[in-house]
Structures are given as C-alpha cells and as structure tokens.
Chains A and B, each alone.
Chain A
Amino acid sequence: MIIDVNFVGLIIASIMASAVPLILASCGELITERSGVLNLGVEGMMIIGAISGFALMTVTGSLIIAVFGAMLAGVLISTIFAFLTQTLITNHVATGLALTIFGIGISAMIGKNFVGIPGKEFPVIFEGLKDTIPLLSPILFGHSIVFYFAFVLPFITSYFLKKTKIGLIVRAVGDSPESASNQGINVKLVRYACILYGGAMCGLAGAYLSMIYTPQWIENMTGGRGWIALALVVFSTWNPIKILIGAMIFGGLTIIQFHMQAIGVRIPVQFLTALPYIVTIIVLVVISRDSRKIRLSTPSSLGKSFYKDN
C-alpha cells in the first residue's frame, strides 16, 4: 500500500490544529496557577470566549474585533473570579466551579440566536508555500495566525517564567505569598494580572474553536476541553513544554481514534473514546515522575487564599 506523504502531513496538521485550544488554555492557566491561584473556571472562560468571538464576528463582521473581543470577554469573566477570590477571599475551588457553570449557562443563553448561522472563513497565512515541500508543507504552512501563536506560546511562557523579572515575581508569589508580600511585592496585583491573563488565553482558545476549528456555534461546544487543559497543567507539573507534548498526544489520539472508528477497527468505541484521556495522563505521569522536580515546580501556595492582616 502506498501512503501519500502529503496525506500524512495533513493528518499531523489536523492533530496540531486540535491541540491548539488545549495549548492556549493550558498555558494561560499555567501562569495563573504559578502565581498560586487555582482557577477551575477554564471550561467556562473558554465557552464564553467561543460565543463572544462567534457573536462579534457575526454582528460586526470583523475578525479582528471578534478575536480581541473574545479575549476581552475572557478577561472580564476572569475579573469576576479575581474579585471574588482575591478581594473577597472566597474559596478558589468553589468559585472556579461556579464560573464554569455560569459560563456554560450564559453562553447557551446568548448563543440561542446564533445557532445554525454559518461562520466566516478565517484567513490563513503562507498559503502559497503549501505545495513546496512534501510532508512538511501541510504541517508548516497554510494555517491561521492563532495556530502559529499557539505553538510559539509554550516557549515564550517558559522563557518568561525562567528568564524575566516578572516571571520570577510570579513564581515567587506562587511559592510563598507571605514572603513575597514582606519583600514588598504586591501579591494581589500579581495574582489579579495572572488571573486576567489566564482568562484572555482561555477566551482566545474558545474563539479558536468557534471561529477557526469548527466555524459555527454549537451549545456546549468546548466539550470538556477546559477540563483537559486543567489536567494538562497539573500532569505536566507546570511545565509549558510538557503541556505542548501532552496536548499533541491528546490531540493525536483523538484524531486517530476517529479514523480507527471510521475504518471499523474491532475495539469497543467506548474504549477508543477514552483512549486519549488515559494515554495522555499516563505519558505525562511517566515523564514527570521525578519527585524533586515536582516539588520544585509545584506552586506551594496553589489554591490557598492570601490576605494581609495589618
């Protein structure tokens, strides 16, 4: 049997495309968690981003407004979370769960008027180079700008955390907010910023789903990707590069199991559907099992409220 190399390239490209929302949301949540805040509202922020992006695109017709609007929507909803957890010192877990429920509900309500409306085509770049190199061309060229951004983001995130002053401050706050505060760092401000950044990335991830990946609005269209993104952050031990690996494995297995189902492989469908979840977690656990490194990269104050008593 002869396999067309470009077909393989296309499969890899589709795997990468399905990993994009996971990478975006995970890298955003990673920054939030590195500052010591556990935001379980990823799914909710993503779906808000998805409906906001799609609605703005339909109403204004501008893709730029739609993409940035989706990010802004993510920021706004995460501001609610930030205000509750940082200013009113509510419990991170409960507030995050509420955020997800709220996001799913409100997106369904807004989305009623947008069901069945066709999306717009999102421009791709480097399209002219699509046929130049066998195998690699379909992988490298002809994707949206968000796609490229997603694959650079883990490296930027890693550089930001390790090499920049602000990255150092974020890690310090996540390690010990008390010490950070005594060093004159404004813990609340840092945490607010990290939560809002996480919201923006989740909003972008949602917009990618509704505007680029499957350009239409379907109720509940994030389909649990927010939870996978959260799991990726933890199982990657807060390492952006490992998030990239995990997202690719998850995306890859999702795509491959679809093909296997289509071909009619005699494995129970339920098992195939569960496969990406199981394998991703196993792989990430195996590559992250060095307990010393876990201790060093886990934000010690994760999920704990911080307040100064003067």
Chain B
Amino acid sequence: MNTNLKISNVTKIYPGCVANDNVSLEFNSGKIYALLGENGAGKSTLVKILSGVIIPDEGKIYLNEINLKLNSPLDAKKNDIGMVFQHFNLFETLSVFENLIIDSDEQREVLREKIDSIMRKYNFSIDLDIPVLNLSAGQKQKVEIIRCLIRSPKVLIMDEPTSVLTEQETSELFLSLKKFSEEGILIIYITHKLKEVMELCDEVAVMRRGKLVSVSEIKNENIESLANKMVGQNLKTIKKKKEKNSSVKLINITNLNFISEDPFETNLSDINFSVNRGECLGIAGISGNGQSELFQVLSGEIISDKNSIEFNKNYIGDLNPQERREYLMAFSPEDRLEQAAIPQMAIYENVALNNYKSSNFFNNGLINENKIKEHSKKIISDFNVNTDNIELKSQFLSGGNLQKLIIGRELITSPDLLICFNPTWGLDVGAINYIHETLIKINEQNKSIILISTDTDELLKLSDKISVIHKGKLSKIMDADEVTSEKLGILMGGGN
C-alpha cells in the first residue's frame, strides 16, 4: 500500500526565533527523502513535530489524507510514524530487550520472537540481554531501529543518524534503509552531510532559517549546488597546501600507558608517537576507543609518568593542564559546554579562565575586568564570533560560535601545540569551514596540531600524518597522502 505524508503550513515559533516558518511538504512511500539544512535550520524541529515531541503553533499533518493529531510521541507511534533520534532515546542501564519492549503491550515471549525475526531478516546481531551501555553507537542505533520496526511503521524518520557511526556502519545503515524503502516504508532522512544525501536519497528538501528553500530530485543536484542552497551563499572550498614540514620534533610520547579504575573507560597501552613543528597529526577512531582518555592524558587532566611526554625538550608528563599551558600547549576538549567552557558564566569570564595564572587579568587577587573584556573583544573580532555582547552567558552561544570562541581563546596566546578533540562535532558547514581554515593557518605558522577526531573526512583534509586508535592502542603512523577513508575504516574496526 502506498503511504502519503503531507505537512501543511506548519509554523513553530520560539521566543526570538522562528524554527519553522510556514513549511509545507509532501512525501510518498517508495522513495528516500532527505531533509537537508545547517544546524538551527529547523529540520529537527520539523521532524519532532512529526513524531509528536513538539506541538506546532499552526499547521496540519496528513497521513494518507487523514488529519493526524500528534500531541505526544505516543500519538505518532499509534499512527505508524517511527523516529530514530539523533541523541538516542535509550535507557543505558536497562537491557536491550527491556529497551525494546517498554512501549509495547504484547507478551514478552511474543515480542522476543518478533525481535528475533526482525534481526534475522535484516542481519542484525545484538545480544538482547546485556545492558545498552555496553553497546557501540552503531548497535545502539540498531536497537532504536528495531524498536521502530516492531510496530511495523509506515514512516521511518532518521535524525542525523550517521553522526556517531563509522564508515562501515554507515554503509550498513544505508543498505538497511534501502531495504526498508523497497518494502514500502516511507523514509525521511535528516542530515547536514551532503555526500550522504547524494549517495542515499531520491529527493531532497533544503531548509534554511526555518524556511523551506527548495525541493528537488537528487539527479538534478550535485554537492556544490546543495551546499550553496543550504548556506545561502557560495562556499569556497578549502584545501591544505601540503608542504615539506620541518623535522624538528615538538612533542614526543614514549611508552605512555593509562589504566583506568573505571570499567567504562578505555585503558591506553603503549602509546608512542611524535609530532614535528608545523605538522598536524590526526588520530582517527570510532568514539569510545580511548580518544577521550588520550586527550585527557595529553592535556594533563590525567597525570602520567613524567618521562612519557617530552614537549619542547622538557619532560611534562606529571604536570597539570595549567602548568602545561605555560609551556605553550593549548587544548580544545570535545565537550564544549561541559569541559571547555562554563555554561552559566559570561563570555569574558570564560576567556579569563584558561589563563588565570600567567596573564595580567588579575591584580593582587582582584579581577581586572577591563583588561579581560578588552582581550575578549579582540578574540571575538579576530575569530569571527558572531556576537558583540561579551557579557552573554556562554550557554547561549551556538555551537559554532562557542567553538570559535574556545579556539580563539586558546590560540590568542600563540601556543606551539594545539590539541583538539572533535573540534567540529555537530557544527554546520559554515562554522566547520571556518574552524578548518583556522587550523590550516596554525600549521602554516609552523605550529603543530594533534587532531583527535571521529570524522574521517576532516582528518584526511587537515592531517599530515594519521594514526588510528582502536581499543586504546595506536596503529602505526601513516602519511596522510597514502591513506584512504576505506583503509582508515578497516583500521578503526580493528582490522589490519
């Protein structure tokens, strides 16, 4: 049977922002639809309206000509609309099976059989009786998908599903989605990754600032045309000039080990690498393979053996982050609002935090507010942070602006080495471009970068050398020119 889903004149207004401005769209089963847009374009709001999480201010939803009243997620489920959220809606401490059956009224035995048959049909293999927190991101996503499939949905919505997946997991997901589509499930795929749209989808709707900009068939589009529609202007493509780097070693890690007492952390074993001046070392890997531990060890959040880290001919393994900063290291952690900045504090206060010791921000224990504000304004203008209010609490900055602020804060002291962890995670194309340009500029100034990232495209674009971390171990260090994303994918999965 054909499924027809119609969104008619949907508007949702938040204080200070129109998330959806009179959006109308129509979908038919048998096709995979992409909903494309930058962060904040309103695509997540739109699909949350479809799944009953958000109630629109105006507008109607029709499924097969029937007007749906979607006042809660339950209503969407009852009407055969399934959704896999960007941030998983799983209960980490419950078992996989418990997660799957929680919204169903059927008998446990019946459900177990149903789940088994779904897993067989689509070649999923997940142990149903272990807690969800032991699963990889890809497996967690499969759990979410199975949870939708149990209800045999007519519509399946995927909200940025690949942001946590590896290349292999992504292609597996695409195969499954194509299969679902052939079986008559209408698929709406939300993303800001253009490559995926080209690869997977049949039709694409582009949103920008809450408005629907265009609807077109994929065969009439290419990556550039979609990017320009999405951003609303012509994007320049950036490329790193690969030059001959100096061979002066800046940082040298020897036999670095970290054994965690927390069973949910990854142990690091026998890490060895070095980075030359002006070089960018990329560290790839599936999240949860020791990246965050490695970052913490490098930044001094976790102290290690004094001799295991040699920086600029000093042994600094036992120093804390502040002391390491005095040796001209700088850090940009993964979690911008939890680790890098304090959300409730103003921009200028956050700026003062990383340099409270060496700077002249403080006189005799008192805050020199004027100095800090002056300094903050310089960062904001130098690094293109889109605000002029330095007293704004940092939680109100968008991800891109916050990341620019943090990178700016770190770079304004002109450090010799910047260590960053997923610097463009969750950012939109414009902000990503800016961060990438900045990172390339650092290398051009003969300063070094250690880039820990789960985004292989980013690594291939920016790195001079690449290594892969898997289960707390680093692979051998390769020249970026000789590496392909396929090869990285294999190493990331633990292959050779």
Contacts and interface: CB of A to CB of B under 8 A. Distances in A.
Interface of A: 168-169, 171-172, 175-176, 178-185, 291-292, 295-298, 300, 310
Nearest to A181: B73
B264 A182 contact: no
Interface stretch (B85-93, B417-425, B456-464): B85-93
B94 A175 contact: yes
Given A179-B90, A296-B93, A172 B264 contact: no
A102 B88 CA distance: 41
Contact of A295 (B73, B101, B133): B133
B136 interface: no
B238 interface: no
B103 A183 contact: yes
B94 A184 contact: no
Nearest to A180: B91
Tell me if A's interface is mostly helix, strand, loop or mixed: helix
Contact of B77 (A180, A181, A184, A296): A184
A310 B52 CA distance: 10
A182 B53 contact: yes
Nearest to A175: B91
Contacts of B262: 291
B90 A295 contact: no
B102 A169 contact: yes
Contact of A168 (B51, B53, B54, B94): B94
A179 B263 contact: no
Contacts, number: 61
B263 A183 contact: no
B129 to A, nearest CB: 13
A91 to B, nearest CB: 16
A169 B92 CA distance: 13
A274 to B, nearest CB: 30
Given A175-B94, A184-B52, 4 more contacts: A178-B89, A183-B89, A184-B72, A291-B262
A184 B74 contact: yes
Contacts of B92: 175-176, 300
Contacts of B98: 168, 171-172
B431 to A, nearest CB: 25
A180 B51 CA distance: 14
Contacts of A185: 102-103
Interface in B43-90: 51-55, 72-74, 77, 85, 88-90
B184 interface: no
Interface residues of B, number: 26
B494 to A, nearest CB: 23
Nearest to A298: B93
Nearest to B262: A291
A107 B88 CA distance: 47
Contacts of B493: none
B94 A171 contact: yes
A292 B130 CA distance: 12
Interface string B249-282: 0000000000000111000000000000000000
Nearest to B104: A165
Contacts of A176: 89-92
Contact of B264 (A179, A184, A295, A310): A295
Contacts of B72: 184
B406 to A, nearest CB: 26
Nearest to B132: A175
B222 to A, nearest CB: 36
Contacts of A297: 93
B131 interface: yes
Contacts of B264: 295
Contacts of A291: 262-263
A172 B263 contact: no
Interface string B95-111: 00010011100000000
A310 B84 CA distance: 19
Identify the interface centre among A169, A175, A300: most chain B CB within 10 Å of its CB: A175
A278 to B, nearest CB: 25
A289 to B, nearest CB: 12
Contacts of A169: 102
A274 B79 CA distance: 60
Given A291-B263, A292-B263, A172 B94 contact: yes
A219 to B, nearest CB: 42
Given A169-B102, A172-B102, A295-B133, A179 B91 contact: yes
